[in-house]
């Protein structure tokens, strides 16, 4: 504990906490939409191709953070252009991902220097970010949050009720591409904390846990953000106390949150379900009693 | 400019090379209940989409509420074909209805007392208050359909477009949903366009019928259109229209499968079990 308090005075720790906070808020909001839109696979692809981008930028001796963002953004545009329609999107994602990851392998092979940076991108590097990176991450984070706030309502409409949204004039197709770009930024950010390989722990788990805690969409976003912040800050502090990598604790904490949400609150939700199926049975028997008809 | 809520003048709709229907002309009077009938894939939903401004016909002219069709027309309420919600989805019926008010606007959409009151009124009008706060994916099909109607009507439209609103509902809910729509129409004098494969549950309400088959169409009052002659001409095979116990049965020539007409269950047939 004393060790942690002492460490909190250091620049690199403060940088990590500042960047981690913004990243957690972005991840919390985005993961709610990722879960509702069923886009886990796209997150995975964006993340791996973020790695390709970072590897390419390292090869060119440019900022790996910008490389991540370039990788995820280009991937988002490719996926958006090749398959905005929901059906077949997974296939497009797979096709783009396989090619992009191959490029990443090439970049790493060509890079003659120390492979440390590549390793950090795979497993997270939040306590290693510089002051300049923090400014960059906070800026990207704030732009992403602003974009999310702007599209929040129509994006929700397009996500849960696309047919009516389209009829009401919501640009459903354009929003799908916009959301891919928002995801690209969120993935590039979250990679800083947990790395490419563990990305889903921040971009799926908080949203999935939140869904189990409330039927209210606004409250679900709040829960999702809260869980993400708890996991990132908790992960950083536990990492300081133990010297084990941040991502180990973030993944454990977020998994614990999910299990708690699912099994502590789960029974209550199941009760609700039982009430409704009872009502459905009642309706069915009422229909039979009134001399129901068969639809040929 | 006319007073007619919907007017189609020799409209042809094509998807690529495929002609969905051609030269469709239709005048819908204000306050009319129009049933759009026909087998699956005959372009019933496409007709609604053309009126909503979501597809552009290749020729002809459409006028909706006095102007060319435009997406997001606040004068139109839309009940889409049933879509299932994930049972875990953190979303309530109350939220679905709210989307009908301002879901298309940019920004976050903070809670507002007047919006909340408007949602509450819409929920009350379809008697959905008791389950408006449950996760929507855990409600029955009939409950979801009531919420959909509340969503479509919450913005006080002048016209209601419904796509198979009775599909997969039990008899009791078919009646409830039909009564809700009829009640709204009586209260407001609104116009209803109602896509259905079975006209019988709404037969007592229908003023006008549009029947679409294989690119051909017929429109008029039910008595004009739902006759053996018109149906035989539409299907280009011998079809009998029979009225039994106040219901209309459209029956094709018998083949090895009994009722034929390509896809028997799409024909507005209702048979009482013995």
Based on C-alpha coordinates, what's the Rg of chain A? 22
Q: Is residue A295 part of a domain?
A: no
Partner-chain contact B135 A216, CB within 8 Å: no
Report the domain count for chain A. Answer: 1
**Span B98-113, mean pLDDT?**
93
Tell me: pLDDT of B179 over 70. yes
Q: How far is CA B204 from CA A49, A145, B265, in A?
A: 60, 53, 21
Are A30 and A230 in contact by the 8 Å Cβ rule? The answer is: no
pLDDT digits (tens, 9 = 90+) for B46-70: 999 999 999 999 999 999 999 999 9
Answer positive or negative: Cα dihedral of A293, B226, B216, B207.
negative
Partner-chain contact A153 B106, CB within 8 Å: yes
Cβ neighbours of A156 in B, within 8 Å: 99, 103
Are A160 and A211 in contact by the 8 Å Cβ rule? The answer is: no
> What is the percentage of chain A residues whose pLDDT exceeds 70?
85
Tell me: pLDDT of A139 over 60. yes
pLDDT band at A275 (very low <50, low <70, confident <90, very high): low
Are B170 and A287 in contact by the 8 Å Cβ rule? The answer is: yes
pTM as predicted = 0.89
pLDDT digits (tens, 9 = 90+) for A6-16: 888 888 899 99
**Span B262-266, mean pLDDT?**
41
Nearest CA in chain A to B107: A150
CA distance A177 to chain B (A): 16
Partner-chain contact A272 B135, CB within 8 Å: yes
pLDDT band at A269 (very low <50, low <70, confident <90, very high): low
- pLDDT score at A267: 55
Which among B52, B85, B172 has the least Cβ separation from residue A286? B172
Interchain contact B170–A (C-beta under 8 A) = yes
DSSP B94-112: HHHHHHHHHTTSSS-----
pLDDT band at A119 (very low <50, low <70, confident <90, very high): confident
User: Tokens for B42?
Assistant: 């005959």
pLDDT digits (tens, 9 = 90+) for A186-243: 999 999 899 998 899 999 999 999 999 999 999 999 999 999 999 999 999 999 999 8
In this predicted model, which residue has the larger pLDDT, A185 or B261? A185
> What is the percentage of chain A residues whose pLDDT exceeds 90?
56
Cβ neighbours of B140 in A, within 8 Å: 276, 279-280, 283
Are A296 and B271 in contact by the 8 Å Cβ rule? The answer is: yes
Interchain contact B147–A (C-beta under 8 A) = no
Cβ neighbours of A170 in B, within 8 Å: 72, 103-104
**Span A103-120, mean pLDDT?**
81
How far apart are the C-alpha atoms of B87 and A113, rounded to whole Å?
51
- pLDDT score at A166: 95
**Residue from A168, A265, A277 to probe the interface with B (highest B Cβ count within 10 Å):** A168
pLDDT band at A80 (very low <50, low <70, confident <90, very high): confident
**Residue from A39, A150, A152, A164 to probe the interface with B (highest B Cβ count within 10 Å):** A164
Q: Where are the domains of chain B?
A: 85-153
CA distance B22 to chain A (A): 23
Cβ neighbours of A272 in B, within 8 Å: 134-135, 138
H-run or E-run covering B193: strand B191-195
- pLDDT score at A90: 81
In this predicted model, which residue has the larger pLDDT, A21 or B256? A21
Strand order from edge to edge, sheet including B6-15: B18-28, B6-15, B59-64
Residue B164's SS3 state is coil
Cβ neighbours of A178 in B, within 8 Å: none
The packing angle between helices B113-125 and B93-102, to 10°, is 120
B residues 246-265 lying closer than 8 A (beta carbon) to A:
259, 264-265
Q: What number of C-beta contacts closer than 8 Å exist between A and B?
A: 143
> What is the percentage of chain B residues whose pLDDT exceeds 90?
75
- pLDDT score at A82: 80
CA distance B88 to chain A (A): 7
Tell me: pLDDT of B220 over 80. yes
Nearest CA in chain A to B139: A276
Q: Is residue A296 part of a domain?
A: no
Tell me: pLDDT of B219 over 50. yes
- pLDDT score at B270: 41
In this predicted model, which residue has the larger pLDDT, A289 or A94? A94
Nearest CA in chain A to B168: A295
Residue B71's SS3 state is coil
- The CATH number for A181's domain is 1.10.3470.10
pLDDT digits (tens, 9 = 90+) for A36-74: 998 999 999 999 999 999 999 988 988 888 999 999 999
ipTM: 0.90
**Span A109-123, mean pLDDT?**
79
CA distance B163 to chain A (A): 11
How far apart are the C-alpha atoms of B171 and B183, rounded to whole Å?
18
Q: Is residue A294 part of a domain?
A: no
* φ, ψ at B247 (rounded to 5°): -115, 155
The packing angle between helices A172-194 and A11-37, to 10°, is 140
Provide the mean pLDDT of chain A: 86
> What is the percentage of chain B residues whose pLDDT exceeds 70?
91
pLDDT digits (tens, 9 = 90+) for B114-144: 999 999 999 999 999 999 999 999 999 999 9
Alpha-helix residue ranges (DSSP H) falling in chain A? 2-7, 11-37, 40-59, 64-82, 89-110, 116-123, 131-160, 162-167, 172-194, 200-203, 205-211, 217-242, 246-264, 266-289
Which among B54, B92, B102 has the least Cβ separation from residue A153? B102
pLDDT digits (tens, 9 = 90+) for B189-202: 999 999 998 899 99
Q: Is residue A233 part of a domain?
A: yes
H-run or E-run covering B148: helix B141-153
Q: Which residues form the domain of A198? A: 2-288
- pLDDT score at B267: 43
Interchain contact B127–A (C-beta under 8 A) = no
Provide the mean pLDDT of chain B: 89
The packing angle between helices A89-110 and A40-59, to 10°, is 20
- pLDDT score at A294: 37
**Span A273-277, mean pLDDT?**
54
Q: Strand B6-15 to strand B18-28: parallel, antiparallel, or no bridges (unpaired)?
A: antiparallel
Least confident of A110-114, B5-9, B98-102: A110-114
Q: Is residue A24 part of a domain?
A: yes
């Amino acid at each position: 504990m004393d060790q942690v308090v002492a460490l909190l005075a250091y620049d690199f720790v403060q940088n990590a906490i500042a960047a981690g906070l913004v990243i957690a808020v972005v991840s919390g909001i985005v993961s709610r939409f990722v879960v509702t839109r069923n886009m886990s696979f796209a997150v995975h692809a964006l993340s791996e191709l973020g790695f390709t981008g970072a590897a390419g930028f390292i090869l060119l001796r440019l900022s790996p953070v910008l490389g991540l963002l370039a990788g995820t953004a280009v991937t988002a545009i490719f996926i958006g252009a090749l398959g905005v329609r929901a059906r077949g999107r997974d296939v497009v994602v797979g096709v783009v991902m396989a090619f992009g990851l191959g490029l990443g392998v090439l970049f790493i092979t060509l890079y003659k220097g120390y492979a440390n940076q590549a390793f950090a991108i795979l497993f997270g590097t939040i306590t290693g970010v510089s002051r300049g990176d923090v400014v960059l991450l906070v800026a990207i984070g704030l732009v992403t949050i602003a974009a999310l706030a702007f599209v929040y309502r129509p994006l929700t409409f397009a996500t849960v009720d696309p047919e009516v949204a389209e009829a009401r004039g919501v640009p459903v197709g354009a929003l799908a591409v916009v959301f891919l770009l928002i995801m690209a930024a969120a993935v590039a950010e979250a990679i800083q904390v947990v790395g490419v390989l563990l990305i889903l722990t921040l971009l799926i788990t908080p949203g999935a846990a939140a869904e189990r805690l409330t039927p209210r969409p606004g409250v679900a976003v709040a829960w999702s953000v809260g869980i993400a912040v708890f996991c990132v800050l908790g992960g950083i502090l536990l990492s300081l106390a133990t010297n084990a990598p941040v991502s180990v604790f973030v993944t454990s904490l977020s998994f614990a949150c999910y299990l708690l949400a699912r099994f502590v609150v789960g029974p209550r939700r199941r009760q609700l379900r039982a009430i409704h199926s009872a009502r459905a049975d009642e309706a069915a028997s009422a229909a039979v009693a009134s001399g129901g008809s068969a639809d040929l | 400019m006319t007073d007619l809520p919907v007017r189609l003048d020799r409209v042809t709709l094509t998807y690529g090379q495929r002609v969905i229907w051609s030269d469709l002309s239709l005048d819908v009077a204000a306050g009319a209940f129009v049933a759009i009938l026909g087998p699956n894939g005959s372009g019933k939903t496409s007709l609604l989409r053309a009126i909503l401004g979501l597809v552009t016909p290749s020729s002809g002219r459409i006028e909706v509420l006095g102007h060319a069709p435009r997406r997001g027309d606040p004068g139109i309420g839309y009940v889409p074909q049933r879509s299932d919600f994930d049972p875990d989805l953190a979303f309530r019926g109350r939220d679905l209805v709210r989307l009908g008010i301002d879901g298309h606007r940019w920004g976050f959409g903070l809670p507002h007392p007047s919006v909340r009151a408007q949602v509450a009124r819409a929920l009350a009008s379809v008697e959905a208050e008791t389950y408006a706060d449950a996760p929507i994916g855990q409600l029955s099909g009939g409950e979801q359909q009531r919420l959909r109607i509340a969503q479509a009507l919450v913005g006080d439209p002048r016209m209601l477009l419904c796509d198979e609103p009775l599909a997969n509902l039990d008899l009791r809910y078919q009646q409830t949903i039909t009564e809700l729509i009829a009640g709204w129409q009586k209260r407001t004098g609104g116009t209803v366009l109602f896509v259905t494969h079975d006209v019988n549950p709404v037969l007592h309400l229908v003023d006008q019928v549009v029947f679409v088959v294989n690119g051909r169409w017929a429109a008029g009052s039910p008595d004009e259109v739902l006759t053996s002659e018109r149906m035989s001409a539409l299907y280009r095979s011998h079809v009998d229209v029979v009225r039994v116990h106040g219901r209309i049965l459209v029956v094709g020539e018998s083949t090895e499968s009994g009722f034929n007409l390509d896809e028997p269950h799409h024909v507005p047939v209702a048979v009482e079990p013995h």
